[in-house]
Amino acid sequence: MMKNNWILITTLGCLLSATSVNAKPMSCSQSAITPLEKETVKIITDMQNVHTQIETTTATLNKINQQKIQINYKSNEQNLDKYNKLVDEYNKVVEVSNKLSEEYNKLRDSYNALVNKSPISSNIAFTTCINIQVSSLNVATNSHKIDSLTLGIDILEQSINNLK
């Protein structure tokens, strides 16, 4: 009974430590062991940074749209000039937004390609952490898969070693 409790506590400890660090993708680097896992952390971190820039750009576009709506550009030439400046600013922000979207899509494609060539992981802390990051991005990305058979063997080996 004590062995089973220890296994459960150890497993829960891994899961809790992985989920408690879900605020930033770089926190997953603590549990990344293999070069592929480390590369995954780098790509997810880059994706998160670009995603943040996209959110900022979207907020800027919304703000400019609100300003455009408030200007009655038909009433006088001064308002027309203000409106045209806002349109120019809006178009520049749209260009930036499009470039960010392209960059993000490239990163997402790199991530998906990396996941598809990665073997199924027995590193539950890393897998849990990175999957939390992926789900927080709300994008079409693949989840890492956990090799539950290997996980069971690892726990069994730990239990046997503890008995010795």
HSE-CB at 57 with a 13 A cutoff on CA atoms is 18
Instruction: Give the angle 132-29-51 at the CA atoms, nearest 5°.
Output: 50
At residue 121, φ and ψ (nearest 5 deg) are -95, 145
Of the candidates 108, 110, 144, the one whose C-alpha atom is nearest the C-alpha of residue 31 is: 144
Query: What is the sign, positive or negative, of the torsion defined by CA atoms of 144, 123, 32, 56?
Result: positive
3-state secondary structure of 119: coil
pLDDT tens for residues 52-81? 999 899 999 989 888 888 887 777 888 888
Q: Supply the mean pLDDT for the chain.
A: 74
Type of residue at 42 = K
The rounded percent of the chain whose pLDDT value lies above 70 is 67
How do residues 74-128 score in pLDDT, each as one tens digit? 778 888 888 889 999 999 999 999 999 999 999 989 988 888 887 777 888 888 8
Total residues found in the chain within this entry = 164
CA distance 53 to 99: 11
Distance CA 66, CA 53 (A): 20
- Flag whether pLDDT at 139 surpasses 80: no
Structure tokens at 118: 């990665």
